[in-house]
Structure 1
Amino acid sequence: MFHIVSFWNLRIDRVVGFTSRCLKSKQERFRIMSFFRRNSAMDGGSKKEKMVNLVWRPISTHSSSVVYSEAAEGQCSKPSGVSERAPVVSSAKHSVSLEVGASLMKFIKGKEGTTQMKIEEEMGVKIIFPSSRNEDHIIIEGGSVDCVSKASERIATIVDEVVKSPTLDYSHFVSLPLAIHPELVQKLVNFQNCILGNNSLAGDKQDVQPVDETRLYTLAELGIEKSIFIKPSTFHLTVLMLKLWNKDRINTARDVLKSISPSVMDALDNRPLFIRLKGLDCMRGSLAKARVLYIPVEEIGDEGRLLRACKVITDAFVKAGLVLEKDANQSLKLHATVMNARHRKRKDKRKKMDTFDAREIHKQFGTEDWGEYRIQEVHLSQRFVFDQSGYYRCCASIPFPGGHRD
């Protein structure tokens, strides 16, 4: 017979490099959702067993130690920062289910499983990974609460280090979609075709022209190829980059965005907002060795409403602990990227070309007027996954004020 004994509260002393540290060192606390135990006396002396389901879910923002509370039954060696009530001798087997996120599994395993084996040997536990890549949980089994909790802390440290490093890429971002404007998408298609020499693909019913092989060779020398162009169907402005490595953090981000809709409307004075896209510029470096080429953004009316709305969004995600500290401290410069060398697809991975020569492109399009457009909504977008329109998968969205320009 099973009895619910108590809840444990597990507080991880290491916040995963997020904005909680820049807000008076807030810490994340994680709650073990349920704890079951089999009593040997009631089961005729059968082996005692505990099963704990642990979800890494922030439920508090202040903590500096690992704390457990346990009912009178049960005993384990007392780790640092652990408090117990009336411990008794027990030969229980313990297991914990941790929601770590599918994208982090490989870091817990390590190269050829070395990290996993080291934790198992040092802590006296067994780490069980899910059979499906879509599952977010791992299970830690051990002979005591102490060894299981220490293994959990070790995994928390691994997550901490990985999330703060470039090793784990951003999974989501807050975007202002621009690809919803067909006329702008067509201009971007024409821009790409003009540079790549595929003018036959632009406009209506043009005759197919043969591609000039000499031109292609010249483009290759300049470091220009199709893969470094931003897909017109994904054209957007980026407000904030996010690392949401498990379902719980994604759900939290959804809730945050939806909750601030009234505040965003207030920041925009409940009036439609229009922007002008004009010219081309280089993000750091020189045009001869460009990494990112973008279209500058101007708010029509220059009232600062767009930046105010973006600040409301950013502050809310920072407060929720969903933003890396380095990102929270950056000033926002809205821009619409059209070319990015980081997206280059290389057949030979040994050859590295992280720049391109944008001087001729800038000569031709440096003063281009791309048009004026209304910002219609804000998305929580998932990177590397796209909807039927070709835009990034929308996890949540809130509207901007509608209507026509005054």
Structure 2
Amino acid sequence: MLALFRVERALNLTIPYHISKSVPYFQRCYSCGGMNNKVGGNNNNRAEERKKHKSIASVWRPVSIQTCSADVRTELTEPHINPTTFSDKEEGGSMSSTDKHSISLQVGSSLFRFIKGKGGSIQSTIEEEMGIKIIFPSSSNEESIIIEGTSPDSVTRASERIQLIIDAAVKSPALDYSHFVSLPLAIHPQLVDKLFNFQNSVLGLQNLTPNEASSSSSKDRETFKVDVTKIPLVSYPPKSSPTSTSKTTLSDLGIDKSIFINPKTFHLTVLMLKLWNKERVDTAVKILKGIEGEIMEALGGQPLSIKLKGLDCMKGSFAKARVLYAPVEVVGGEDRLLRACKVIHEAFTKGGLVLEKDAKQTLKLHATVMNVRHRKRTKTTKKYDSFDARGVMEKYGSEEWGEYLIPQLHLSQRFVYDEDGYYHRCASILLPQNVQVD
């Protein structure tokens, strides 16, 4: 009777969740094997139990998840009796088996560290408090974890706890942006060369070729002594010191090679995204492909060209700059490009891939050339929050970078690069390259 009660309870199991419009963090797949049951030595009783359990069939039930898109369904497999559980082999006149329930959660490998916690502390706490086991995949390419427990309630509560952890991680700066929609500029070799020359000049590496400069080792990035009477890195007299009155170092200005943008990745950013699992990446690809016609319409079917001129500081003063960029001027007026960017922003927001705080941001098109966020830290490196850009502005503040056609729009993956050195292209749209004549 105890076994039948457990089966009936499992059949009546329902899991309350709330459905929202955003893309699901993970999908659930329930399975459970075995039943807590003590079987006596009576062969007739065992035969009767087998007959009763054979009548149990699998059923489909909708399971919805918070922050999950509509029409998400998972198969709920009812408890079944493992044939080996009711073996004729008896020990001490009886045998026992254990309930085993599990849920597979598609999380994304970038979120595993938040579930584990420092030294596995968060994972251990959840396992101990809820009497479950969290199993992480052995391969870094897999994105699912498995929660095992002795009851449907325990694995369900554990999955809800994990979902709260994921919600908090996604909204925090601790989980960096993984993808972005970009307008690539590095496809123009002459622009790439200009950027290498700019870096070499500021760093005092005029004798290096672009390839040598881009592949320089960490030793090549050591502080360079620069004579301000010959190279105007600063537009004001250097601070006096006991050892030098005519020289300063790039380190004093907070400038090193790592804060320069790699010219081979030069681009305009349209939208930043956090796509932490394959499902969200696939959704982003479908969205981009699905709005190709609307983007073409917003551009009026005409080529998109931009002009870069001068330098400017994103926030604050040039003396304490964090981001230095080349302002963008759209040839023929920026209305067409802004309309196209609006189409992209609205589509990805509607698809649930844009964070709430990012959805409220106003787009400012710019081509970043220096950014302190990219600074490489070492034990001997000072932790600069900014750099002094006044000398750079004096020399390059009115630089003519040129006019360039933008032939493509990419869904790019950060920290991963294709053979040409540009960010990995997950998807792309070809933009008009020839003027249409009515």
The TM-score normalised by the length of structure 2 is 0.75
Query: What is the aligned counterpart of 2:368 among 337, 347, 367?
Result: 337
3-state DSSP class of the match of 1:263? helix
Query: Equivalent residue for 2:28?
Result: 32
The answer to whether residue 259 in structure 2 is matched with residue 228 in structure 1 is: yes
Query: Equivalent residue for 1:177?
Result: 184
Cα separation, partners in 2 of 1:10 and 1:352, compared to 1, 3 Å: farther
Per the TM alignment, residue 35 of structure 1 is displaced from its structure 2 partner at its CA by: 5.1
Per the TM alignment, residue 398 of structure 1 is displaced from its structure 2 partner at its CA by: 0.9
Q: Assess if the C-alpha contact under 8 Å between 2:24 and 2:65 holds in 1.
A: no
- Map 1:1-400; keep pairs closer than 5 Å: 13=18, 31-32=27-28, 41-42=49-50, 60=69, 92-201=99-208, 213-215=224-226, 218-348=249-379, 351-400=382-431
Distance between the aligned counterparts of 1:382 and 1:256, measured in 2? 16
3-state DSSP class of the match of 2:28? strand
Distance between the aligned counterparts of 1:30 and 1:201, measured in 2? 50
Per the TM alignment, residue 287 of structure 1 is displaced from its structure 2 partner at its CA by: 0.2
> Deviations 1:239-270 (Å, cap 9, x if unpaired)?
11111111111111111111111111011111
Cα separation, partners in 2 of 1:72 and 1:45, compared to 1, 3 Å: closer
Per the TM alignment, residue 286 of structure 1 is displaced from its structure 2 partner at its CA by: 0.5
Cα separation, partners in 2 of 1:91 and 1:310, compared to 1, 3 Å: same
> Deviations 1:336-379 (Å, cap 9, x if unpaired)?
00000111112127831121000011111111111111111111
Query: Equivalent residue for 1:23?
Result: none
User: Could you tell which deviates more after superposition, 142-151 or 230-239?
Assistant: 142-151
Cα separation, partners in 2 of 1:265 and 1:192, compared to 1, 3 Å: same
AA aligned opposite 1:122: E
AA aligned opposite 1:247: K
Distance between the aligned counterparts of 1:71 and 1:213, measured in 2? 67
Aligned residues: 367
Q: Assess if the C-alpha contact under 8 Å between 1:278 and 1:368 holds in 2.
A: yes
> Structure 1: which 4+ aligned runs deviate by more than 6 Å?
8-11, 36-40, 43-46, 54-58, 67-74
Distance between the aligned counterparts of 1:281 and 1:147, measured in 2? 56
3-state DSSP class of the match of 2:414? strand
AA aligned opposite 1:334: L
Q: Assess if the C-alpha contact under 8 Å between 2:23 and 2:68 holds in 1.
A: no
Distance between the aligned counterparts of 1:227 and 1:203, measured in 2? 15
Structure 1 spans left out of the alignment, 5+ residues:
21-25, 75-89, 205-210
> Deviations 1:267-311 (Å, cap 9, x if unpaired)?
111111111111100010100000000000011111500011011
Distance between the aligned counterparts of 1:252 and 1:9, measured in 2? 29
3-state DSSP class of the match of 2:324? strand
3-state DSSP class of the match of 2:319? helix
Cα separation, partners in 2 of 1:269 and 1:405, compared to 1, 3 Å: closer
3-state DSSP class of the match of 1:215? strand
> Deviations 1:171-212 (Å, cap 9, x if unpaired)?
1111110000111111111111111111112589xxxxxx99
Cα separation, partners in 2 of 1:196 and 1:131, compared to 1, 3 Å: same
> Deviations 1:92-133 (Å, cap 9, x if unpaired)?
421011111111111101111111111111111111111122
Distance between the aligned counterparts of 1:331 and 1:397, measured in 2? 24
Q: Assess if the C-alpha contact under 8 Å between 2:294 and 2:343 holds in 1.
A: yes
Cα separation, partners in 2 of 1:280 and 1:10, compared to 1, 3 Å: farther
Q: Assess if the C-alpha contact under 8 Å between 1:290 and 1:358 holds in 2.
A: yes
Q: Assess if the C-alpha contact under 8 Å between 2:111 and 2:276 holds in 1.
A: yes
Cα separation, partners in 2 of 1:168 and 1:213, compared to 1, 3 Å: closer
AA aligned opposite 1:60: S
Per the TM alignment, residue 44 of structure 1 is displaced from its structure 2 partner at its CA by: 10
3-state DSSP class of the match of 1:348? coil
The TM-score normalised by the length of structure 1 is 0.80
AA aligned opposite 2:325: Y
Using the aligned pairs only, state the percent identity: 55
